[in-house]
């Protein structure tokens, strides 16, 4: 199993550009989420999904869109990049909706994004 994979590993954008960060998992996990991590801070939830076709907003959703057409994939789209979106982005998955029983989250290796 590859676990959770993310592409690209590094990305530099100019202000106003759009792009999609890819995330895929091969563990048949129902729950997937996107976080951003800024220096000296913990992870902040951007968007999450409890299953294919279902997404919801987290703590910091503005400027980002997600979709979940399959169980495996959960892409994150930056609509119009801003310098404030410079961060490390982590995708995570867990076995089921954490509302049922707590399941450890498995994280991808991260995407380091710089917006100039």
Partner 1 sequence: GQSLEQPSEVTAVEGAIVQINCTYQTSGFYGLSWYQQHDGGAPTFLSYNGLDGLEETGRFSSFLSRSDSYGYLLLQELQMKDSASYFCAAQDSNYQLIWGAGTKLIIKP
Rounded to the nearest whole angstrom, what is the least distance from the CB of residue 51 to partner 1 in the complex?
A: 14
Q: Which residue, 67 or 106, has its beta carbon nearer to partner 1?
A: 106
Q: Which residues bind partner 1 (CB under 8 A)?
A: 40-45, 48, 58-59, 90, 97-99, 102, 104-110
Query: 63 or 98: whose CB is closer to partner 1?
Result: 98
Beta-strand (E) ranges in 38-110? Answer: 43-51, 54-57, 64-66, 76-78, 87-94, 106-107
Distance between CA atoms of residues 106 and 104, nearest Å = 7
Q: Which is nearer to partner 1, 75 or 106 (CB)?
A: 106
Distance, CA of 70 to CA of 16 (rounded, Å): 29
């Amino acid at each position: 199993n590859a676990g959770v994979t993310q592409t690209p590993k590094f990305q530099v954008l100019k202000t106003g550009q759009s792009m999609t960060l890819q995330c895929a998992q091969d563990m048949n996990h129902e729950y997937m989420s996107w976080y951003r991590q800024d220096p000296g801070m913990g992870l902040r939830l951007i968007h999450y999904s409890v299953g294919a076709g279902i997404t919801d907003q987290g703590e910091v959703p503005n400027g980002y869109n997600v979709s979940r057409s399959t169980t495996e994939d959960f892409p994150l789209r930056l609509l119009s990049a801003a310098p404030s979106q410079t961060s490390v982005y982590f995708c995570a998955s867990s076995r089921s909706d954490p509302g049922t029983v707590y399941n450890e989250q498995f994280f991808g290796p991260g995407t380091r994004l710089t917006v100039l």
